[in-house]
Amino acid sequence: MTFSDIFKSSFLENVTSVSVLDMVIALVLAFCVGLFIFFVYKKTYQGVMYSPSFGVTLIALTMITTLVILAVTSNVVLSLGMVGALSIVRFRTAIKDPLDIAFLFWSIAVGIVLAAGLIPLAVLGSVVIGLILLVFVNRKTYVKPYIAVLNLDDASAEKAVTDYLKANAERLVLKSKTVRRGSLEITYELRLKSDDTSFVTALSEKEHVESAVLVSYNGEYT
């Protein structure tokens, strides 16, 4: 018996077909669970500009993964070729929010579990994960930080401006200080005592203050 005979007897004979009913059930469930993932993503999004295309990608990724795993489980030889084909695929899209990685992995995991026939695990697991994300992501446990950029035409005004910011902020940290001849640029990270930002207008009208900029800070830029 040659190696080819062993390979054929071990793999080529273990070919099963997926019924139409199984395919329909798996894809419909993948769409429903993917829609639920999309809903959770939309409700827990914390970024500045929401991208609807990413939400649709989560639905499509769940269904595509289910389709691929159904094909893999039906033919062992096909699974070997598919592993080789997918190994050359490289994704270069930058993921800015770490939470987006969790949603992508969630969609892929659900597709795999559904195609494997573990429907209760996929459905109940997704419900539990979704509820946990809705509770913890939307829960505000800290005050939103801001970045204040001040341009002064006289360095002697720095102390007066700093004291004014301390009076209106709960926490104030110096991030950068740029000194030029005849001008001074200071960047502070601050946490406000309330949502009222009208003090910035009063600050910009103070003597030696050329401009005052207040920017919401999310840790991705300074």
What pLDDT score does 14 carry? 47
d(CA 11, CA 222): 57
Position 17 confidence tier, pLDDT thresholds 50, 70, 90: low
- Tokens, residue 185: 């640029």
Domain extents in the chain: 7-137, 145-216
What pLDDT score does 222 carry? 40
Q: Which regions of the chain does DSSP assign to beta strands (E)?
A: 145-152, 169-180, 183-192, 209-216
- The residue that leads in pLDDT, 33 or 52, is 33
Q: Which long-range contacts (CB under 8 A, 24 or more apart) does 40-45 make?
A: 40/103, 40/130, 40/133, 40/134, 41/103, 43/134, 43/138, 44/99, 44/133, 44/134, 44/137, 44/138
Quick one: 145-216 is in which CATH superfamily?
Answer: BMC (bacterial microcompartment) domain (3.30.70.1710)
**pTM, whole model, 2 decimals?**
0.63
Q: Are 26 and 115 in contact (CB under 8 A)?
A: yes
Position 47 confidence tier, pLDDT thresholds 50, 70, 90: low
